[in-house]
Structure 1
Amino acid sequence: MNATFPTADALRAALSGALDGLPPKQAGQAVDRLIAHYRGTVPTGTPVLRDRSDVAAYAAYRMPATFEAVRAALGALREAAPDWAPATHTDVGGGTGSASWAVAGEWQGQRTTVLDWAEPALALGRELAAAGPESLRTADWRRARIGQDLELAPADLVTISYVLNELTDPARTALIDAAAASAQAVVVVEPGTPDGYTRIIEARDRLTAAGLTVAAPCPHSDACPIEPGTDWCHFAVRVSRSSLHRQVKGGSLAYEDEKFSYVVATRFTPDPVTARVIRRPQIRKGQVLLDLCTRDEALGRTTVTKRHGGLYRAARDTDWGDAWPPPPGD
């Protein structure tokens, strides 16, 4: 991991500087509309970020959470392919660059191209990137319509984060197929809702049909063992909230939990985890209950007790979304 550049801190500082003076009322109104879109209550197929006010509100409301969710997915990719690093990266529908900031925090030296159909988002993305590492400062921020006619140049890594909900069904299919054809690794992240999970499963199915292998979060590339309509696979990351973030959202807590669903698939052969913790561990007196998705038994629960010694201590430190058992050295 890139330990020489504090990417998360730099992003927060860049956001603070770029958004200084933004009227909270104006930002709040834009955020209300964005929340309606995020929850799927507005039509799709058109750009969501229409002007500078929308972009600034999005940056305050969504950018930190998107960054953390994508960073978690990229961490799972690094876990499955520790010796692999992308030389080129395409951020599809990247907007202000949340996913590109996350990629810049994981690897160094890659050439990044950010594609989005909203020029105001790209403009703010360029502005924020000036405070980032070299791969962001030298990135190509390019306007492109994210739809059925999108052509993607070959790239080692393609990220598609919080984009599929904005597209029509044919455009989603075309985008995933284009990513599968152009990339060595594809990372797709969506909201951790039943609808978001459904879109992830659709993307996962198309990626594997195109010959890619699932690297994360699943321990296998077989069909998801969750029966449709009964549950959905999602995870959570904790996000620090700035004072502006609290203003536009009307909250007082210094953090929030971002729930997300994702899939990582690769052209090369990854080493997926043996099992993934798919619920918050239940810690009880003398035991820890772990709900797992495994390679062989699909969904199941394991109970780790004090009799397991070091494994029990590891279980107490294990979090939702982690590999089980922990990798050697953890």
Structure 2
Amino acid sequence: MNVPVSPAETLRASLAGLLDGLPPRQAAQAVERLIANYRGATPTDAPILRDRADVAAYAAYRMPATFEAVSAALAAFADAVPGWVPGSHVDVGGGTGAATWAVSATWDGPREVTVLDWAEPALALGREIAAANPALSGVRWQRSRIGAALTIESTDLVTVSYVLNELTEADRAALVDAAASAAQAVVIVEAGTPAGYARVIEARDRLIAAGFHIAAPCPHSAACPIVPGEDWCHFSARVSRSSLHRQVKGGSLAYEDEKFAYVAATRLPVTPAPARVVRRPQIRKGQVLLDLCEADEHLRRTTVTKRHGDLYKAARDAEWGDSWPPAE
């Protein structure tokens, strides 16, 4: 009996093969240099990923985390728009295509897919990796400047993951506006830092102004109740660590948690979560503390105890980022 292999496992296997013949120390040094530079003040016309060795090392290190974060955001979006399946997808700044893998893992069926990125080596490697996934056989890998001059063809879904930090404020605004003009749905993922959250909120405001409804993570399309500078909204995705991860991080754990912030918005009718768990649930003796963003535009802590019966059992199983209460 053949056991189906998940897209995540297929991706990890493909990425492991990229490092064959590349000395581990060289791969680790490339990742360390790229981490230091890639999210910095690099002009958008000067890609950091210079050659295949750079891209292979960075992809092996970052693609699994990007895949898991985008998959989590897409799953929340799919819950809010049940029954909808994108027939086309444009991944802006998609590099080696982690978001395209996440979209294919979220929704079955064929679709037209285009990955836009400035770095030709990233696109070439993305095409190579995608050969392991039949759902990505027809993807177009297109070199394009990501910024004010960007043109996005009409599509059902646009994803933008870990890209906004590389752009100027004007280019970020232009990209979000272009996505809103082209797509029925836009999903944006950034690093789960205060600065990443600020960029997500900036994009969220522009999408709402363009007539979009927020599908996730927010249970409403009103202003975010978090006071700027006092806190930030972010979530966590569990990522299996490769040997390269352990070497670069100097750790021994088989996993790490990717912190990310996101917004998923659409012109379609939405049924957002009644409330969203916005911090890791705290399990105490006989009770669970849940920090929730609620539909009335407030943040509240809710205590669920054994007296709540089945709801208490659900609270013990609840995870950071889940809808609350759980669907029956």
**146 and 297 in structure 1: CA distance in 2 versus 1, 3 angstrom threshold:** closer
Matched, 1:120 2:116: no
Q: Aligned partner of 1:66: which letter? A: T
Measure, in 1, the Cα distance between the counterparts of 2:13 and 2:28.
Answer: 21
TM-score (structure 1 length as normaliser): 0.95
Query: What is the 5 A alignment of 1:234-245?
Result: 234-245=234-245
In structure 2, relative to structure 1, the CA distance for the partners of 1:80 and 1:166 (3 Å cut) is: same
Q: What is the CA–CA distance in structure 1 between the aligned matches of 2:310 and 2:43, rounded to whole Å?
A: 50
Query: Are the equivalent residues in 2 in contact too, given 1:36–1:42 (CA < 8 A)?
Result: no
Residues 196-229 of structure 1 deviation map (CA, whole Å, 9 limit, x = unaligned) = 0000000000000000000000000001000000
Cα deviation for residue 251 of structure 1 reads 2.6
Q: 1:283 offset after TM fit, Å?
A: 0.6
Q: Distance in 2 between matches of 1:126 and 1:250?
A: 31
1:250 Cα offset (Å): 3.1
Aligned to 1:137: 137
What is the one-letter code of the residue matched to 2:274?
A: T
**Conserved? CA contact 1:215–1:271, under 8 Å:** yes
Q: Is the 8 A contact 2:224 2:297 kept in 1?
A: no
In the alignment, structure 1 residue 292 sits paired with structure 2 residue 292: yes
CA shift, 1:18, in A, is: 2.3
Written as runs of structure 1 = structure 2, the 5 A alignment for 1:147-296 is 147-296=147-296
Please identify, of 102-111 and 157-166, the stretch whose mean Cα deviation from structure 2 is larger.
Answer: 102-111
Measured after TM superposition, the shift of residue 249 of structure 1 is 3.5
Counterpart of 2:184, as a letter, is Q
8 Å contact from structure 1 (residues 219, 276) kept in 2: yes
Q: Say whether the 8 Å CA contact 1:96–1:121 is kept in structure 2.
A: yes
Distance 1:138 1:297 in 2: 42
8 Å Cα contact 2:92/2:117 also seen in 1: yes
Who is 1:58 aligned against?
Answer: 58
Alignment TM-score, normalising by the size of structure 2: 0.96
CA distance in 1, matches of 2:253, 2:160: 29
Contact 2:95/2:122, CA 8 A, preserved across alignment: yes
Offset at residue 137 of structure 1 (A): 1.4
Q: Contact 1:90/1:113 (CA < 8 Å) preserved in 2?
A: yes
Write out aligned runs for 1:11-160 (5 A).
11-37=11-37, 40-45=39-44, 46-107=46-107, 108-134=109-135, 136-160=136-160
Deviation at 1:42, TM superposition (A): 4.3
SS at match of 1:273: coil
**Contact map agreement 1:197 1:261 (CA 8 A) in 2:** yes
Q: How far apart are residue 21 of structure 1 and its match? A: 1.9
Structure 1 gaps of 5+ residues are none
Q: Deviation of residue 307 (structure 1)?
A: 0.3
Distance 1:172 1:110 in 2: 27
- For the 8 Å contact 2:148–2:174, the answer to whether it is kept is yes
**Post-superposition, which runs of at least 4 consecutive aligned residues in structure 1 deviate over 6 A?**
none
Structure 1 Cα separation of the partners of residues 316 and 53 of structure 2:
44
How far the C-alpha of 1:26 sits from its partner, in A, is: 1.9
| Helix, strand or coil at the partner of 2:185 | strand
Provide Cα deviations, 1:34-81, integer angstroms capped at 9, x if missing partner.
Answer: 22246x544343323222122112112110000000000000011101
Between the aligned partners of 1:248 and 1:234, the Cα distance in structure 2 is 24
What secondary structure, in the 3-state scheme, does the structure 1 residue paired with 2:34 have? helix
Q: Which amino acid aligns with 2:31?
A: V
Q: Which amino acid aligns with 2:118?
A: W
Q: Distance in 1 between matches of 2:97 and 2:297?
A: 39
Deviation at 1:24, TM superposition (A): 1.8
Letter in 1 for 2:123: L
Distance 1:64 1:25, change over 3 A: same
Cα RMSD (Å): 1.4
The verdict on how the C-alpha distance between 1:273 and 1:60 changes in structure 2, with shifts beyond 3 A counting, is same
Determine the C-alpha separation between the residues in 2 that align with 1:180 and 1:5.
Answer: 35
Q: How many residues align?
A: 324
Query: How far apart, CA to CA, are the structure 1 residues paired with 2:73 and 2:174?
Result: 22
Q: Write the letter of the residue equivalent to 2:270.
A: P
Gap change, CA 1:41 and 1:87, over 3 Å in 2: closer
For 1:206 and 1:48, the matched residues in 2 are separated by 28
Q: What is the percentage of aligned positions where both structures have the same residue?
A: 69
Specify the SS of the correspondent of 1:289: strand
AA at the equivalent of 1:184: Q
